[in-house]
Structure 1
């Protein structure tokens, strides 16, 4: 900044302070800088004869060179203050074309992130070059309503009769502030809800982990009971499976390893398996499938011999059962090499009793001459009658089941004809060859 002019020998009561900024700031207009300079002249009582000298000093070296070029061959000092201001004003702030300013004004809309107050200030600045005259307030009102980004605020303003500029501005600002505050409230409430959801989950997880740790610390490896192994009454017992001293068959690790079953000792039956099958939760109807002592001699049942990879089992053919089912005991005894997978399928008997489904195994099975892979066999709790349901029936051709049933029920092939013949003999008049039969 150039040093302020010395006021010695001047008649002015005071000089413009040295902190008055010289031009040129590209962010402000030259006209407005001149207005500030005029204010300083008035504040410090600068006489008209000294205005030109102060002006030439505070415009700075770069703008002074420009002014010299504009008034050449004359010197700026030989010109009046008003002449020099007019020369620089026409150069730096030329009068715009009115139609161009009018076009820009009517295409100015509220931008993203721009508040209503900021938008209104821009419209007033742009309207200055449009020469609206007495139509200024109406033009500003119209462009404010048309250019707002919020359709909700627009609709509110369009419903107002005899809408004035100030009224439109106040309504728009009020609705904007209300919307912003409402969004802040939503964010705060959402944050609180997330915190409420996270804390119980964390607390439940910690509590559950502590419970599992406590329960494991009390489980006796000798019998599986809820006490210390040192205090177990079976400390000197002999295992009926591995014949080692110090535990019973129920807690035998060798037995569990040989079974290869993914069971865990927990009270929650839904956690008895550790893997999952991709199935939606479905409820299937099955027969009660309870085991009785004479199941193999029950002539009312249809048995099918099914070959698995290394074992042959007899399953009851049950068209009333949607899926094939096997009990836990048979699974452990014959099919424990198959990994037990978790399933969301639920099984319900016709008596509306839900079976405890432990999981499902994926097997390869043969019926007659046909072999099928990736068949689902559902494992249920306890000693249950193995069922061959409709899911498997569809997988095989019916001819194989017919052959299997004929061989299994061969003893009945002689009984059925005899019963039929006795019926025909008893009612021979009904089945006579000629005419219609009759029965009394």
Structure 2
């Protein structure tokens, strides 16, 4: 050990003498390899290539590594995967080389081509000005460091015309057209001025418009019907489907300029019914008293309907006591309101009707003509009295109880269904049936058979852009363990998906 220490001290003394004389290359050749510290391998996920190469060149300069050894020192400090990639690159050069014969310049060019491709300055500056926001919990210094990091890819120091650059960047951030942005990002920064950006955007939008008109024809103008902003149209489907159009009037003063919560007459007293909270003009009791004559509502003429099949289904019938008279009513869980015919209304001694603001139509889109609505007293299953609202209609046999009244009356649908007979479906005579739809479908299937096969297809001339969050980072996961019993089935599924174009095999994760 003492002899080895003496040899080591003698070598260090010779190295110091050579360094003093300026003979750095000779000193590096005589330096023992064990004295050279290890340099970290390149990790794409944590560091940019330019920063890593700058650190490496600082490392080789600090340790006086000669030019011919820089490539070897770089290779022994890299991962096996990167070492293999550089080896493959060396074998694919115009003049194939062994990996130990590759120069540092060739390694640098290869890494820049693979891990540091040329950036589009227009796109980088667009990202810098449009997506840079402070993250939750981020300090001022962290935000400043992130801004400095993002600014390194924008090359702001080489801007020749700051005014034109500012207008061009503002235009790119405000254009809000995906096709225009794609066209602008493809142009080099030196060739894209503010004027040129406007020309490209105009040409792109005009070309898209002309192409659309060429394929689909010129668009025809249609007059727009502007509905009242205070109306809404809820829909429901049943044997008798209602299409409601209810105007939101303030029920306190009957005005449409505000809601009931904002009405200044919330504490006013009605002069007719002497109740608090509304005016005489909006009093419902006064309207029910004054509207004694039934008002016929306008309706559009019924359309002729072609019947292909007639389905016979027994109705759910229930005898209901209304105004001390037994009325046979149909139960419809799809209807919102209750209906009685004009004949039943006359039988009940014509109660006072009020105007209804709802337009009703059947499931076949035919309007239901109504003459008004009234409130009648009915009895529940247990014999308790209850007031229900009924719509009087001129449609024959339209005596119907809706789902709300079914619940209030306490009627059990399950008991009625258990007593109902089996539903039958009768086919109409083939001579009267309309076969035009069937013939059109067969003609369509024969003309475009590829649209109805079981294979997967692709949309043509369509691009899907997936946007991630600005702070999203890719995460590496190892392959999931697969039980041995299903490995064959999984491999078969992989092969099937590759053949059908669903999956694409890759070499690296």
| TM-score, with length taken from structure 1 | 0.27
Greater Rg, structure 1 or structure 2? 1
The TM-score with structure 2 as length reference comes to 0.24
